[in-house]
Amino acid sequence: MFVALTGGTGGAKLIQGLSHELDPEELTIICNTADDFVLYGLNISPDLDTIMYTLAGLGDDVKGWGIRGDTFTALEQLRQYGYEAWFKIGDRDLATHIERTKLMREGFTLSQVTEELRRALAIPATIRPMSDQAVETKVATSEGEISFQEYFVKHRWQPEVKRVFYARIENSKPATGVVEALGDAEGIILCPSNPITSIGPILAVPGMRDAVKQSPAPVVGVSPIIGESAISGPAHKLMAAQGWEVSAYGVARGYADLLDGFFIDTEDEKHQGRIEALGVKAVTTSIRMDSSAEKRRLARELLAFMRK
């Protein structure tokens, strides 16, 4: 069994490739939930949903989130009632949030709810939230502290970031089955997701980083950075705010205690020696995943590395 740690959009591309190159029953996904938030009284888990829709074949590959072909009639109605409507919840997507919220109010854990949704969508892979306790990524900006979704979607990652932190992380623990999956894995993949706001919170759940470190499985990562910017999203801005070098090397250094191998783009060949000096094998290849063929090819290369 292979275990992938991921956020939403960037990681979902690789997850799609892996799900085609593996028997999906052999794939366990541990997903960031520190982007989760409550809107209109509904529990929203953007990264879990992106991964779920991707694996169910429902995902919108162009936007990188939501359901392909969804409509926004309910949101327009909410706008008419005077609500803010900066977070674009589609009509079909809304049903997921209603179901999740109902089950959580009945006392089910996020793991149990995710399992229910997975089953209803007939997804053969295992999807687990990083934790069943609520953790919230906060972005401290020059205008005060805001949630990650406010920073990312409402303010389109424009405010100047002073620092990022994960509220209530100390009260969280890995969700059911997560530590066991890491211990039993044949290989562990750190997807090309934002290292500060996607992979960062997963590894910061108490006990998680040690579970990855102690697993006998090879651990391989893929850079979300090419040159000095993220393939998508604000990873470069958040890395700089946290004092990380903004480069593929900077990401490798952040994970160096865990990694056996790190995949970087051929454009970043100059970092290969520096990464290898960290004790991590650096593999240069094309890491852009703009087509289904590219997602599958990168997934194949990662699997071959881990099976060596």
- Contacts with ligand FO1 by CB under 6 A lie at 7-9, 35, 46-47, 49-50, 65-66, 87-89, 93, 149, 152-153, 198
CB of 193 to ligand FO1, least distance (A): 7
- Which one, of 254, 276, 148, lies nearest residue 209 by Cα? 254
Q: Which is nearer to ligand FO1, 84 or 180 (CB)?
A: 84
- Shortest distance, position 174 Cβ to ligand FO1, whole Å: 20
CB of 72 to ligand FO1, least distance (A): 10
Tally of CB atoms within 10 A around 98 = 13
Question: 142: exposed, middle or buried (C-beta count within 10 Å: 0-12, 13-18, 19+)?
Answer: exposed
Least distance (Å) between residue 297 CB and ligand FO1: 24
If the CB atoms of residues 72 and 108 are measured against ligand FO1, the closer one turns out to be 72
Quote the CA–CA distance of 156 and 88 in Å, as a whole number.
13
For residue 36, the minimal CB distance to ligand FO1 (Å) is 9
The 10 Å Cβ neighbour count of residue 4 is 25
Q: Cβ closer to ligand FO1: 93 or 265? A: 93
Pairing of strands 219-222, 161-167: unpaired
- Comparison of 251 and 282: residue with beta carbon closer to ligand FO1: 251
Q: How far apart are CA 211 and CA 185, in angstroms?
A: 11
Minimum CB separation from ligand FO1 for residue 279, in Å? Answer: 30
Q: How many residues does the chain have?
A: 308
Using the minimum distance from each CB to ligand FO1, give the nearer residue, 192 or 261: 192
**Token pair for 7:** 């956020």
The contacts of residue 62 (CB under 8 Å, 6+ apart) are none
Pick between residue 172 and residue 197 the one whose CB is nearest to ligand FO1.
197
- For the CB of residue 66, give the shortest distance to ligand FO1 in the complex, in Å: 5
The answer to whether the beta carbons of residues 27 and 4 sit under 8 Å apart is yes
By C-beta, is 104 or 153 nearer to ligand FO1?
153
In the complex, least distance from residue 270 CB atom to ligand FO1, rounded to whole angstroms: 29
The nearer residue to ligand FO1, 59 or 218, going by C-beta atoms, is 59
